[in-house]
Amino acid sequence: MQRVLLKESAAQLTGRFRNEQVWVGGTGYSPHGASHIAPHHSRIPAAIDDLVQFTERQDLGGLTHIAVAHAQFETIYPSSDGNGRPGETLSRGCCETPDSLDAYCCLYLLGHL
């Protein structure tokens, strides 16, 4: 999915997890003043595993399930760029079949991004 969404703007970043620290806000060289600092890149595989496990839960309503999974994905921020577009696309896909979050599992199984 990320390959399609970023093929024109950042093709070199697709198909893998980020290998650097990223943040939202602050400056290009420092997270000082950032509104969000993503987890260290070494923690991404475990965080994605946790997200996939969460998507398999059956005890939440559809909208709650989608919202929490989306927030968890965006908090992990698994790529150096373009996390919002895959996250939004996955959420929209899940809304079409709210009793299933298979799209998030596909993210993991199809090369993670």
2: its two tokens: 């990320």
- Report how many domains make up the chain: 1
The per-residue pLDDT string of the chain (113 residues; one tens digit each, 9 = 90 and over) reads 666 666 666 666 666 788 888 888 888 888 999 998 999 999 999 998 998 888 888 888 777 777 888 888 889 988 776 556 667 666 666 655 545 555 555 554 444 44
Q: How far from 76 is each of 22, 45, 89, 95, 98, CA to CA, in Å?
A: 10, 10, 16, 21, 22
5 found inside a domain = no
The pLDDT score that the predictor gives to residue 24 is 87
9 found inside a domain = no
CA separation for the pair 55, 62 (Å, rounded): 11
65 found inside a domain = yes
4 found inside a domain = no
62 found inside a domain = yes
Per the structure, the complete domain to which residue 57 belongs is given by 41-113
